[in-house]
C-alpha cells in the first residue's frame, strides 16, 4: 500500500492504463492536483517500476508516461476496487 497509497496514485494508474500520456494530459485528467504533487507521485511510481518515463530530445522537452508490465498487474485489483466503490455509491443512493 505504501507504493500505491495516497489520493492520486491509483487515479494516475487508472488513466495510464488507457494509454501513454504526457504530463499536461495527466494534469488535465486529474483536476485539483498540483504540478508538485503529480511530479512526486510519478517519480515514486517510476522508482517502484510501476510507471515508465520516456524523454524525447525535443525543444521544448517532451516526456511521456506509461504503465509498465508490473503496473498492469495492479489493474485487476483496481477494477475490483472501482466496482466496490460503485456498489457502495449505489447502495448509499438507495438509503
Q: Are 13 and 67 within 8 A, CB to CB?
A: yes
pLDDT of residue 1: 62
Residues 6+ apart with CB under 8 A from 53: 42, 46, 63, 64, 65
The pTM for the full model equals 0.81
> Rounded to whole angstroms, how far apart are CA atoms 95 and 73?
35
- In this structure, how many other beta carbons lie within 10 angstroms of the beta carbon of residue 76? 9
**pLDDT more than 70, % of the chain:** 92
Angle at 44 between CA 55 and CA 82, to 5 degrees: 105
Write the pLDDT tens digit of every residue in 21-44. 999 999 999 999 999 999 999 999
Amino acid at each position: 500500500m505504501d507504493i500505491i497509497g495516497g489520493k492520486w496514485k491509483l487515479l494516475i494508474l487508472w488513466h495510464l492504463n488507457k494509454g501513454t500520456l504526457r504530463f499536461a494530459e495527466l494534469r488535465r485528467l486529474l483536476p485539483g492536483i498540483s504540478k508538485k504533487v503529480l511530479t512526486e507521485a510519478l517519480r515514486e511510481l517510476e522508482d517502484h517500476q510501476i510507471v515508465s518515463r520516456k524523454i524525447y530530445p525535443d525543444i521544448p522537452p517532451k516526456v511521456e508516461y506509461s504503465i509498465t508490465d508490473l503496473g498492469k498487474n495492479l489493474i485487476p485489483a483496481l477494477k475490483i476496487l472501482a466496482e466496490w466503490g460503485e456498489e457502495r455509491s449505489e447502495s448509499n443512493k438507495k438509503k
